[in-house]
Chain A
Amino acid sequence: MNRVNMATVASNYNPREIDNTADVPGRRAQLVTGNQTYSSITNMVCRVAEDPQPLLWYVLFGFSSLIAVMFLSLIGYLILNGVGIWGNMNPVFWAWPIVNFVFWVGIAHAGTLISAILFLFRQNWRTSINRASEAMTIFAVVCAGIYPGIHVGRAWLAFWLLPYPSLNLWMWPQFRSPLLWDVFAVGTYASTSLVFWYMGMIPDIATYRDRSKSPLRRMVYGLLCLGWTGSSRHWLVYEKAYTLLAALAAPLVLSVHTVVSFDFAVSQVAGWHTTIFPPYFVAGAIFSGFAMVVTLLVPSRAIYKLENLITLRHLENMNKIILATGTLVGLAYATEAYIAWYSMNQYEGFTFLNRQFGPYWWAYWTMVSCNVISPQLFWFKKLRTSLFWMVVICVFVNIGMWFERFVITVTSLSRDFLPSSWGYFRPTMYDGLMLFGSFGIFMSLYLLFCRFLPIIAMSEVKGILSIENHAAHAHDDSHGQSH
């Protein structure tokens, strides 16, 4: 077959030359660099799954799958022994499991935001990063979903959350509870994201199928892509469905963390009972999700040599969004504190002073320095285009966002209205290991995804390349006419 061989790709590849971050007035920056053709894009992406994986992949996968196995064993241990193995104790009954749940659900927001909202705004730079971030979304929702499932105590009865005509209970869920809204919101988000992700992959899996050498691979990918032919009649319906899904997923992504924030905001606890929670949570979710995407994509593009597709400009754009949402989050912290003072409500006022100077002062100031101060460094172009510094800052952002949920959940509960019931939350070893373990699940799934599925939406990148090529032609033509 007439394939572009590896040597051609290798000669195209030189990441040092790539800097498409400069903005030239009147000219759009290239989103695909290195003089790519359709077939070179196909080669670059398919190589990730077709070539033997680098040694690093095996090391990482071995490590993260071990952690994942540890996590699953701990879940088994938890089910056998009960939630008493965690540090959850009066008065802090919503502790690390809920913090971890909100943390992961927040991270899960970036994928659909990139796929849906940036799609609706015709932000073409989304095309090379949307697939990996959608995958990340799914895996983060998997991690998030585990925690409420095991936090209910009798995890084998977690299906009681669903409204079904039960023969044992003879009752229905309470639809006025935000916790039930959460079941619907997270359930809808997980399933819609999965459908969105899978539908986006169908044409690219067809590419994998058509390049497969072994009959088994060809059959599996053939089944997965449902016999996709690239028919224009199919493409028409497909694009319409994709636009519809994007239009549906955009409000959905905003609603999910809104509903998660209702878990807190609808209660009466000081520090939770505020109307700012929905926008504040959504901004925080986008913030942490983008940080996680950057943290994953920088090593991925280096390992799989995808610098021409996931260019510095893509990363810089994401860092700009991190800067914007980080500033929003900082504004939300300031607004919360201001309202606590301005409302003259002694309980609100106390809660915020307690957060800043109470027994959890260290968590509060970790949160502020990671979430408010560190993203401000992205004002400097040197830092937001430096691979090293952007990863460092993004890791700090995610640490900070974990602490944000910790501060909200634990400080408010540990000191509520009744001083006689105050307490201090102490996590156990299992709390720590089960947070760490969820990263094992997440990383294992992400590495398997890189190994077997198209990590870049090839068909979409080719569409962008087609537009760019024609724009370049038009540009050349106009030059020709003027001279």
Chain B
Amino acid sequence: MSDHKSRKSNDTKMPKAFGWMAEYADEEDLLVAARKVRDSGYTQTDAFTPFPVHGIDEALGIKPTILPFIVLCAGITGLITALLMQWWTNGVDYKYLISAKPFGITPASIPVAFELTILFSAFTSFFGMIFLNQLPRFSNPVFTNPRFDRVTDDRFFLYVNAADKYYNRESVKELLADTHPDSLDEVLDDSTPSTLPRPIVLGALLLVLAGLIPAMIVLNMRASFSNLPRWHVFFDMDFQPKKKPQQTTTIFADGRSMRPQVKGTVGRGQLTEQDPFYLGYDPSKLSADDASTTVKYVSTNANQDSASQVQASTAVQSMPAQSPPPQGAPAPTPALKLPWVDKLPESIVEASNIEANMKLGKVKFETYCSACHGYGGFGDGLVHKRADSLAQGYWTPPTSMHIERVRKQPVGQIFHTITKGQGKMASYASALNPKERWAIVLYVKALQRSRNADIEDVPVDSRSSLDNELNVEPTK
């Protein structure tokens, strides 16, 4: 600070003096001299020694430092930081459930709290020392004395600063000379230019600019878009030495990475694909005419053995030539002709189960189907009514269960429709298990019959009660 002041006020050739500095060869001489200077009333004094001389603080009248209190505050801050951090991160923001142990501050928080207390205190001790000593200070008038180089070796210096309010150049010189120093020099302003050499400034500037380049690249990338694939500095698990479906390989003669089923083995869940209960049709009754359709709908069927697989794959390839693609038409697919099951499975209609299944079917129908098809199955569900009222024009009304076409469908086909979906209707296979689907079929059949019944359908002993009800009508 005083550097600048001196340079401004002092343009003459005489450099500014900062005080007197006396040199001693022994720490005892220094202590004696320091006491003398202190007793003369000077306070802007300092001693420079190669090691901390015992008793110098008392001899110079240096007050104790407040560093321990700063460190104490830092330690408490570290402790509180650690506890709050553990409480908030593991107890509030992201709760970890570990063996039903409590959240927040527990004995398990002690190690980290301890370490952070030490960490904060230790760094504060160091940086507090740096701060209180006003370091780093590279330009210091005491360095102008060439003898001062030995202050870090074996020499002891006593310094009286010109800033002292009692400072008088001559009297301080006299006082110090009385202590028999080895040398006595006036500390003068540094005559060398205070600016850094130009190459160093340029070099530092270049370094700073070069250091900004990576940050600029990153910022630019964050703020802009690119069509290029991302850089994989580390592959993580994005690329693995393995084959995915549909890829080729040189390991097998046929060049496929997907392998056909080994002869004589059964895949997991494969048996259910042979069972009419899960399909709604009987795969064993598939005729040769159905081959193309079968391949499309029942792909695993073709994997039974390699011979039929080759057959099937040729069938798939030749299919477009033989027949128009079935999925070409957006309308419901009347072309789908499979050997449908025409009787409900025995387990559904068993006398002991049928009532429970009917109730199950009702519940599931009302949960999943009624939204569109309506509780009565007339295709007048709430979704339909809403879509109709919006009159958007592209709404395909849900099919009524009671039209001729649906009434004639075998139970297997209804099951298949629930399983695979049709038109806009999605597949319900993931929401309903096969038993529930069959129960819905049972319930739909009952609905259909209830809306298209004649007197023959009513049990004989109940007909009379029906008559009585009808007789209530006044028109009769």
Question: Do the beta carbons of B149 and A210 come within 8 Å of each other?
Answer: yes
In the complex, whether B135 has a CB less than 8 A from a CB of chain A is yes
* Chain B contacts for A156, CB-based, 8 A: 233-234
Q: How far is the CB of B160 from chain A (nearest CB, A)?
A: 13
Question: Do the beta carbons of B133 and A181 come within 8 Å of each other?
Answer: no
Of the A-B pairs whose beta carbons lie under 8 Å apart in the complex, a sample of 15, sorted by A's number, is A175-B112, A176-B106, A184-B116, A188-B122, A191-B122, A209-B152, A223-B136, A229-B142, A232-B57, A240-B67, A248-B122, A252-B118, A255-B115, A259-B115, A462-B50
In the complex, which residue of chain A has the Cβ closest to the Cβ of B131? A237
Among B88-96, B303-311, B341-349, B467-475, which stretch is in contact with chain A?
Answer: B88-96
Among A36-44, A332-340, A396-404, which stretch is in contact with chain B?
Answer: A36-44
* Chain A contacts for B27, CB-based, 8 A: 466
Among B41-49, B282-290, B388-396, which stretch is in contact with chain A?
Answer: B41-49
Question: In the complex, which residues 171-198 of chain B have their Cβ closer than 8 Å to any Cβ of chain A?
Answer: none
Q: How far is the CB of B97 from chain A (nearest CB, A)?
A: 11
Q: Which of B53, B96, B111, B135 is in CB contact (< 8 Å) with A174? A: B96
Question: Do the beta carbons of A233 and B125 come within 8 Å of each other?
Answer: no
In the complex, which residue of chain B has the Cβ closest to the Cβ of A259? B111
Contacts A188-B115, A466-B51 known; 8 new A-B pairs at CB < 8 A: A170-B94, A188-B118, A191-B122, A235-B56, A236-B52, A244-B67, A259-B111, A259-B115
* Chain B contacts for A239, CB-based, 8 A: 52
Question: Do the beta carbons of B90 and A230 come within 8 Å of each other?
Answer: no
In the complex, whether A395 has a CB less than 8 A from a CB of chain B is no
Question: Do the beta carbons of A210 and B151 come within 8 Å of each other?
Answer: yes
In the complex, whether A111 has a CB less than 8 A from a CB of chain B is no
Question: Do the beta carbons of B51 and A163 come within 8 Å of each other?
Answer: no
In the complex, whether B121 has a CB less than 8 A from a CB of chain A is yes
The answer for the CA separation of A334 and B122 in the assembled complex, in Å, is 37
In the complex, whether A375 has a CB less than 8 A from a CB of chain B is no
In the complex, whether A234 has a CB less than 8 A from a CB of chain B is yes
Q: Which of B62, B67, B121, B122 is in CB contact (< 8 Å) with A232? A: B62
With contact pairs A163-B89, A184-B116, A241-B67 given, residues A233 and B133 touching in the complex (Cβ less than 8 Å): yes
Residue interface bits B142-155, CB-to-A below 8 A is 1, else 0: 11000001111110
With contact pairs A227-B140, A229-B142, A255-B115 given, residues A176 and B101 touching in the complex (Cβ less than 8 Å): yes
With contact pairs A174-B90, A241-B128, A248-B121 given, residues A231 and B50 touching in the complex (Cβ less than 8 Å): no
In the complex, which residue of chain B has the Cβ closest to the Cβ of A46? B153
Question: In the complex, which residues 319-363 of chain A have their Cβ closer than 8 Å to any Cβ of chain B?
Answer: none
* Chain B contacts for A262, CB-based, 8 A: 111
In the complex, whether B255 has a CB less than 8 A from a CB of chain A is no
Question: In the complex, which residues 53-69 of chain B have their Cβ closer than 8 Å to any Cβ of chain A?
Answer: 53-54, 56-57, 60, 62, 64-65, 67-68
* Chain A contacts for B230, CB-based, 8 A: none
Of B52, B62, B116, B118, the most chain A CB neighbours within 10 A belong to: B52
Q: Which of A38, A172, A209 is in CB contact (< 8 Å) with B50? A: A38
The answer for the CA separation of A307 and B283 in the assembled complex, in Å, is 96
* Chain A contacts for B90, CB-based, 8 A: 172, 174-176
In the complex, which residue of chain A has the Cβ closest to the Cβ of B107? A176
Question: Do the beta carbons of B48 and A231 come within 8 Å of each other?
Answer: yes
Q: How far is the CB of B381 from chain A (nearest CB, A)?
A: 40
Question: In the complex, which residues 189-224 of chain B have their Cβ closer than 8 Å to any Cβ of chain A?
Answer: none
Of A209, A239, A244, A262, the most chain B CB neighbours within 10 A belong to: A244
The answer for the CA separation of A252 and B111 in the assembled complex, in Å, is 11
Chain B residues within 8 Å of chain A by Cβ, number: 65
In the complex, whether B370 has a CB less than 8 A from a CB of chain A is no
Question: Do the beta carbons of B53 and A232 come within 8 Å of each other?
Answer: yes
Task: State the 4 A-B residue pairs at the shortest beta-carbon distance, nearest first.
Answer: A38-B154, A226-B136, A241-B129, A172-B89
In the complex, whether A97 has a CB less than 8 A from a CB of chain B is no
Question: In the complex, which residues 304-361 of chain B have their Cβ closer than 8 Å to any Cβ of chain A?
Answer: none
In the complex, whether B266 has a CB less than 8 A from a CB of chain A is no
The answer for the CA separation of A173 and B132 in the assembled complex, in Å, is 37
Of A181, A199, A229, A234, the most chain B CB neighbours within 10 A belong to: A229
In the complex, which residue of chain A has the Cβ closest to the Cβ of B82? A184
Q: Which of B54, B94, B109, B152 is in CB contact (< 8 Å) with A172? A: B94
Chain A interface bracket (under 10, 10 to 19, 20 to 34, 35 or more): 35 or more
Question: In the complex, which residues 452-479 of chain A have their Cβ closer than 8 Å to any Cβ of chain B?
Answer: 458-460, 462-463, 466-467
The answer for the CA separation of A299 and B56 in the assembled complex, in Å, is 38
The answer for the CA separation of A185 and B110 in the assembled complex, in Å, is 12
The answer for the CA separation of A226 and B136 in the assembled complex, in Å, is 4
In the complex, which residue of chain A has the Cβ closest to the Cβ of B130? A226
Q: How far is the CB of A34 from chain B (nearest CB, A)?
A: 16
Question: In the complex, which residues 177-233 of chain A have their Cβ closer than 8 Å to any Cβ of chain B?
Answer: 178, 180-181, 184-185, 187-188, 191-192, 195-196, 198-199, 203, 206-207, 209-211, 222-223, 226-233
Question: Do the beta carbons of B152 and A230 come within 8 Å of each other?
Answer: yes
Question: Do the beta carbons of B118 and A230 come within 8 Å of each other?
Answer: no
In the complex, whether A92 has a CB less than 8 A from a CB of chain B is no
Question: Do the beta carbons of A154 and B234 come within 8 Å of each other?
Answer: yes
Main secondary structure of the interface of B (DSSP, over half): helix
In the complex, whether A251 has a CB less than 8 A from a CB of chain B is yes
In the complex, whether A171 has a CB less than 8 A from a CB of chain B is yes
In the complex, whether B225 has a CB less than 8 A from a CB of chain A is no
In the complex, whether B411 has a CB less than 8 A from a CB of chain A is no
In the complex, whether A78 has a CB less than 8 A from a CB of chain B is no
In the complex, whether B368 has a CB less than 8 A from a CB of chain A is no
Question: Do the beta carbons of A37 and B154 come within 8 Å of each other?
Answer: yes
Q: Which of A173, A230, A241 is in CB contact (< 8 Å) with B125? A: A241
Q: How far is the CB of B161 from chain A (nearest CB, A)?
A: 11
Q: Which of B57, B126, B136 is in CB contact (< 8 Å) with A199? A: B126
In the complex, which residue of chain B has the Cβ closest to the Cβ of A196? B122
Q: How far is the CB of A120 from chain B (nearest CB, A)?
A: 14
The answer for the CA separation of A173 and B118 in the assembled complex, in Å, is 21
In the complex, whether A132 has a CB less than 8 A from a CB of chain B is no
* Chain A contacts for B101, CB-based, 8 A: 176
In the complex, whether A424 has a CB less than 8 A from a CB of chain B is no
In the complex, whether B271 has a CB less than 8 A from a CB of chain A is no
Question: In the complex, which residues 134-176 of chain A have their Cβ closer than 8 Å to any Cβ of chain B?
Answer: 154, 156, 163, 170-176
Question: Do the beta carbons of A227 and B151 come within 8 Å of each other?
Answer: no
Question: In the complex, which residues 7-64 of chain B have their Cβ closer than 8 Å to any Cβ of chain A?
Answer: 27, 46-54, 56-57, 60, 62, 64
* Chain A contacts for B68, CB-based, 8 A: 240, 244
Q: Which of A181, A230, A235, A240 is in CB contact (< 8 Å) with B115? A: A181
In the complex, which residue of chain B has the Cβ closest to the Cβ of A235? B52
In the complex, which residue of chain A has the Cβ closest to the Cβ of B135? A226
In the complex, whether B251 has a CB less than 8 A from a CB of chain A is no
Question: Do the beta carbons of A185 and B151 come within 8 Å of each other?
Answer: no
The answer for the CA separation of A223 and B139 in the assembled complex, in Å, is 11
With contact pairs A181-B115, A239-B52 given, residues A244 and B133 touching in the complex (Cβ less than 8 Å): no
With contact pairs A227-B138, A234-B133, A245-B122 given, residues A207 and B46 touching in the complex (Cβ less than 8 Å): no
Question: Do the beta carbons of A181 and B111 come within 8 Å of each other?
Answer: yes
Residue interface bits B437-450, CB-to-A below 8 A is 1, else 0: 00000000000000
With contact pairs A206-B152, A207-B153 given, residues A244 and B94 touching in the complex (Cβ less than 8 Å): no
Q: How far is the CB of B146 from chain A (nearest CB, A)?
A: 8
Residue interface bits B76-108, CB-to-A below 8 A is 1, else 0: 000000000110011001101010010000101
In the complex, whether A365 has a CB less than 8 A from a CB of chain B is no
In the complex, which residue of chain B has the Cβ closest to the Cβ of A79? B234
In the complex, whether A22 has a CB less than 8 A from a CB of chain B is no
The answer for the CA separation of A144 and B142 in the assembled complex, in Å, is 44
Q: Which of B86, B122, B150, B234 is in CB contact (< 8 Å) with A195? A: B122
In the complex, which residue of chain B has the Cβ closest to the Cβ of A255? B114
* Chain B contacts for A181, CB-based, 8 A: 111-112, 115
The answer for the CA separation of A185 and B113 in the assembled complex, in Å, is 10
In the complex, whether B236 has a CB less than 8 A from a CB of chain A is yes
